[in-house]
Amino acid sequence: MVHQSDVLDRAFSALSDATRRDILTRLGEGPATIGQLAEPTGMTLTGLKKHVQVLEDAGLVVSEKVGRSRQCRLGDERLDDVMAWLAFYQRLWERRLDGLEAYFTLERGTTDD
């Protein structure tokens, strides 16, 4: 469980920043260099590289040196661990809400008599 917690902590920390979410969105369209990622933000290459490093540490992005530039793409893990965690809590809350709905339906049925 500790490993899973570390993975989720890194992923949610990486996703907490709008710039990093924008990077993931852009990389969803295909690979891009640091320069291509930095251009629309007006950020320096160094600044953007720091954001990419956080995403790499979380396993969400992979980068490699290609010639004189660094090419980035979505990581193989992507958001699988995060999605599994969210799905668990979605099912939990759906069951609770279904139970609450059944309770109120029953209450309404007994008071209408």
pLDDT in the model for residue 76: 79
C-alpha dihedral sign at 19, 7, 12, 90:
positive
92-101: burial string, b at 16+ Cβ within 10 Å, e else: eeeeeeeeee
At 110 the pLDDT is 63
* 0.85 exceeded by pTM: no
Please tell me the distance from the alpha carbon of residue 8 to that of residue 11, in angstroms, as a whole number: 5
pLDDT tens, N- to C-terminus, the chain (113 residues) = 446 788 889 999 999 999 999 999 999 999 999 999 999 999 999 999 999 999 999 999 999 999 999 999 998 776 788 888 888 888 888 888 888 888 888 777 765 54
Dist CA 60 CA 58 (whole Å): 5
In Å, the largest CA–CA distance within the chain is: 78
Residue-level pLDDT at 14: 93
